A = this chain, B = another copy of it.
Amino acid sequence: MSPFVYLDYAGVALFAATGALAASRKQLDLIGFLFFAVITGTGGGTVRDIVLGRVPVFWVLNPTYILICCAAGVIVFFTAHLVESRYRLLIWLDAVGLSAYCAMGAAKGLAATGSPTIAIVTGTLTATFGGVLRDLLANEPSVLLRPEIYITAALVGAAIFTGATEFGLPLYAASAAGVLAAFAVRGGALYYGWTFPTYKAKPGRHPDDVM
């Protein structure tokens, strides 16, 4: 088996665990944990496969992914109440999953189209969409809208993977570079509170902006 399969399994399992942690915060039952684990674990890759025209999607072709999500959901169900802060754990697991998935998504986009632009887009999309779905379905504030750097980490990882591959690095090395770069950016953003400068126009400054 290719090392990509393990990277994929790891990304799926980590995102599945964040989905189950969201279910825990919402006090859902075991089946709710499994549902959120499956949706969050497979969501990003499902969107990636669909836009690339790779259907049936990966988990339909290989149901092992569903079982991995369910296993992650069961583990979180029996342990989440022991964790001091479920949200902090969720956000860090999400960071690792995002790092694995941005390289994975870029690799599949590059393999399917040969276009670096598309590889970067599918890498970023794959890495962020599971979390977006999780937050939407759980009615949690979206991780996209938090101030610390998030989407940028996925973009950096996808771009570094793509660039390294285009420069002829072997897949192992390009993947490692992409995953580590994404985690360095997202982990640093979480740990040090890194943000980018923005134009601090106040929302609602003009009355129509709150209409």
- Residues of B near A124 (CB, < 8 A) are 35
Q: Does A2 contact B (CB under 8 A)?
A: no
Known: A55-B52, A206-B86. A145 touches B138 (CB 8 A): yes
B85 A29 Cβ-Cβ under 8 A: no
A103 beta carbon closer than 8 Å to chain B = no
* Cβ-based interface call for A14 (8 A): no
Enumerate A35-73 residues with CB–CB distance to B below 8 Å.
Answer: 35, 38, 46, 50-53, 55-57, 59-60, 63, 66-67
Residue pair A60, B113 in contact (C-beta under 8 Å): yes
The size bracket of the interface on A is: 35 or more
Interface hits, A192-211 → B, CB 8 Å = 195-201, 203, 206-211
A75 at interface (Cβ–Cβ under 8 A)?
no
Q: Across the interface, do B63 and A26 meet the contact criterion of CB distance under 8 Å? A: no
A145 lies within 8 A of B28 (CB): yes
Asked whether A211 lies within 8 Å of B87 as measured between CB atoms, the reply is yes
Chain B residues within an 8 Å CB radius of A67: 117
User: A144: which of B35, B38, B63, B84 is its contact (CB, 8 Å)?
Assistant: B35
Q: Would you call B208 and A80 a contact (CB within 8 A)? A: no
B199 x A152 contact (CB < 8 A): no
Contacts known (A209-B85, A209-B86); A26 close to B203, Cβ less than 8 A:
yes
Instruction: Answer whether residue A173 sits at the interface, using C-beta atoms and an 8 A cutoff.
Output: no
Q: Does A174 contact B (CB under 8 A)?
A: no
Asked if A169 is at the interface of the complex by the 8 Å CB criterion, the answer is no
Q: Which residues of A contact B (CB under 8 A)?
A: 24-32, 35, 38, 46, 50-53, 55-57, 59-60, 63, 66-67, 77, 80-81, 84-88, 112-113, 115, 117-118, 121, 124, 128, 132, 136-139, 141-142, 144-145, 147, 149, 151-152, 155, 195-201, 203, 206-211
